[in-house]
Amino acid sequence: MKIIKSTSVLIENLDQLENISLIPTMGNLHEGHLSLIKEAKKLSENIVFTIFINPIQFNSKHDLENYPRTLQQDINLLKEIGVTILFIPSVNDIFPVKPNLSYKMPIISNELCGKTRIDHFKGVITVIDRLFKLIQPSYAIFGKKDYQQLYLIKRFVFDSKLPIKIIEAPTIRNIDKLALSSRNNLLKTKDINLAVELYKKLNICAESVLNGVKIHDAELIAKKELVKEGWEIDYLEVRSQENLKKPSYNDSKLVVLGAGFLAKVRLIDNIEFCIPTTI
Ligand code: PAF
């Protein structure tokens, strides 16, 4: 594994590689990230893995400063599992000048997570645009836990007509079904058991809809249950898998997405489900 820290050295090394699979991350690696490498290995032997804590996708300085950083541990893990290049750029390397995204973000980027995290997705797409231009991968792999992010990256690739195939990797969960996330490391031990309640309440919502409860009522039931468990809810909503809009009468492929805070730590999760008939 080559560890590369500057864009100029990266460009020299990319010259020798074809058919690249790119895995962009912000580090603090866990099984979820390692599962992305497994997906990448099915597609190509040339894997470029990036660790870059992107400052322009954070909404608060506090959140950026507190993002878990475990670089040496991450490097050791990646050496063991084996990727071709580990790219760890500095902020100046990625954004030598103030970034200016020409792509117009879809309206849906201001809903769900985007409603409270203003410009978060613009920050994500800006860094992804930069990494795609720099690395020109054939494939890029992202986890489904960040469902809205994944949707917006797919839209960006489609709208911009980029020759990159976006690969969706399933959410990896621990034995209790808690979705793995770097932010779980910020939870106090007493809150870790409560974290899985988000997944459980999303399930209750999906099952209620499947049992014929109206979507709005199912969302309310699940939200009330989550609040009882000590969660502060950002949103919990059923949307269409296809476009993330509120479901219309003929949408049968749905996803329930939720975000909330446990002792000031923001966690997200989602569950896809299908209803057999129209709503
Ligand atoms: O999901 C993440 O870790 C980040 O949002 C990403 C895609 C690496 C962009 O900074």
**CB of 231 within 8 A of CB of 258?**
no
Closest CA to 276 of 207, 203, 202, 210: 210
Does the C-beta of 127 come closer than 6 Å to ligand 1?
yes
Which of 243, 273, 227, 237 lies closest to 257 in space, CA to CA?
237
With a cut of 60, say whether residue 279 has pLDDT above it: no
63-97 pLDDT per residue, tens:
999 999 999 999 999 999 999 999 999 999 999 99
For a mutational test of ligand 1's pocket, the pick from 53, 56, 124, i.e. the residue with the most ligand atoms closer than 8 A to its C-beta, is: 124
pLDDT in tens, 102-140: 999 999 999 999 999 999 999 999 999 999 999 999 999
Q: Are 140 and 47 in contact (CB under 8 A)?
A: no
Q: With beta carbons less than 8 A apart as the criterion, state whether 254 and 272 touch.
A: yes
- The single-letter code of the amino acid at 175 is I
pLDDT, residue 45, reads 96
Lookup result for tokens 């809809």: 209
148 in contact with ligand 1, CB cutoff 6 A? no
Rounded distance from Cα 117 to ligand 1 centre (Å)? 14
Per residue in 196-242, pLDDT tens? 999 999 999 999 999 999 999 999 999 999 999 999 999 999 999 99
**Both tokens of residue 168?**
């969706």
Cβ 26 under 6 angstroms from ligand 1: yes
Contact status, residue 151 vs residue 111, Cβ threshold 8 Å? no
